[in-house]
Structure formats: structure tokens, C-alpha cells
């Protein structure tokens, strides 16, 4: 049974924080699906992930291609099992995550912008929904300048 980790972005924007978390997931040996609700936002993020190879190479692709199943990191706007067999889903911009997914995957990460009140409120709702469904959850904040675990529930 997996767990859901909430990442409260307060110091870095998504495009700076996401590569760090993706590298950690890949270091764990996981295939990853980055799930967002809007294709244009994922297209933008795709460009950002290719922009600075000096920071490290994150092999990835956009869903809908001929080689989705081979992508170690797949950016997708679809829910449910990812075509790349992801063991980790990173949900951005309020993308939907079901309790059944959390329980079936190694890890689900929900990244939300702390400067956006609606995003923070949505993350709180997700926390309550998922923990009420029995999912183990952790809340991480970068307010101090580095990631610190601030809350944990479940097993």
C-alpha cells in the first residue's frame, strides 16, 4: 500500500521543484506519471523540463505518442493507470487522485502552490478525502528553505 505526499510550494515554482522530486522518484527506480488537468500547461512544463540539461537529464515524454509505454516519466492529462506503468504519480494544478490509486501505487505526490489560496484549499480537501479513505499521508513544506515533514497520518 502506497502513500500520498503533499508538497506545499512556497519558495520555488513548480518548474523548479518538480525536477528535484522527479529525480528522487527515478533514483528509487520508479516510473512516474506527471498528471495535470490541462494539456497546454503540460506542454509548457514539457518545455521547461527540456530547457536546462546542465541541471541533469530527465528523460520524459508527452502522453499520446507512439512510445508512451517506454517513457520513464510521462506527462499526461488522463486519470487512471498511466501507459508507462508508473509506480508514482505526481499530480499538479489540482489534478484528481483517487484513494484507490494511492493504495495501488508506491507513491502519489500532490504539488500545490502555497501562494494560490484556491490551490491550498483544494489540497486541504484532497488531504481530508484521501486520509478519510484510509490513505497514509505526509505533508511537506519548504517554508524553511528545505523540505521538512510537518504532518503525517496513517500507516
- pLDDT for 2-11, tens place per residue? 899 999 999 9
SS (H, E, C) the chain: CCEEEEEEECCCCHHHHHHHHHHHHHHCCCCEEEECCCHHHHHHHHHHHHHCHHHCCCCCEECCCCCHHHCCEEEECCCCCCCCCCCEEEECCCCCCCHHHHHHCCEEEEEEECCCHHHHHHHHHHHHHHHHCCCEEEEEECCCCCCEEEEEECC
Q: What domain range includes position 51?
A: 3-153
pTM metric for this prediction: 0.93
Split into its structural domains, the chain has a count of 1
* Model confidence pLDDT, tens digit, residues 83-101: 999 999 999 999 999 999 9
Domain of 123, CATH number, reads 3.40.50.10110
Amino acid at each position: 500500500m502506497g502513500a500520498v505526499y503533499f508538497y506545499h510550494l512556497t519558495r520555488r515554482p513548480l518548474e523548479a521543484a518538480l525536477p528535484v522530486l522527479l529525480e528522487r522518484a527515478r533514483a528509487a527506480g520508479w516510473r512516474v506519471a506527471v498528471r495535470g488537468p490541462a494539456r497546454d500547461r503540460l506542454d509548457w512544463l514539457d518545455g521547461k523540463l527540456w530547457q536546462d540539461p546542465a541541471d541533469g537529464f530527465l528523460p520524459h515524454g508527452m502522453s499520446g505518442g507512439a512510445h508512451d509505454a517506454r517513457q520513464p516519466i510521462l506527462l499526461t492529462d488522463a486519470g487512471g493507470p498511466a501507459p508507462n506503468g508508473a509506480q508514482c504519480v505526481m499530480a499538479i494544478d489540482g489534478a484528481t487522485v483517487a484513494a484507490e490509486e494511492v493504495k495501488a501505487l508506491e507513491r502519489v505526490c500532490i504539488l500545490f502552490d502555497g501562494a494560490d489560496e484556491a490551490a491550498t484549499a483544494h489540497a486541504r480537501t484532497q488531504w481530508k478525502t484521501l486520509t478519510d479513505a484510509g490513505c497514509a499521508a505526509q505533508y511537506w513544506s519548504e517554508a524553511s528553505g528545505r523540505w521538512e515533514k510537518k504532518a503525517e497520518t496513517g500507516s
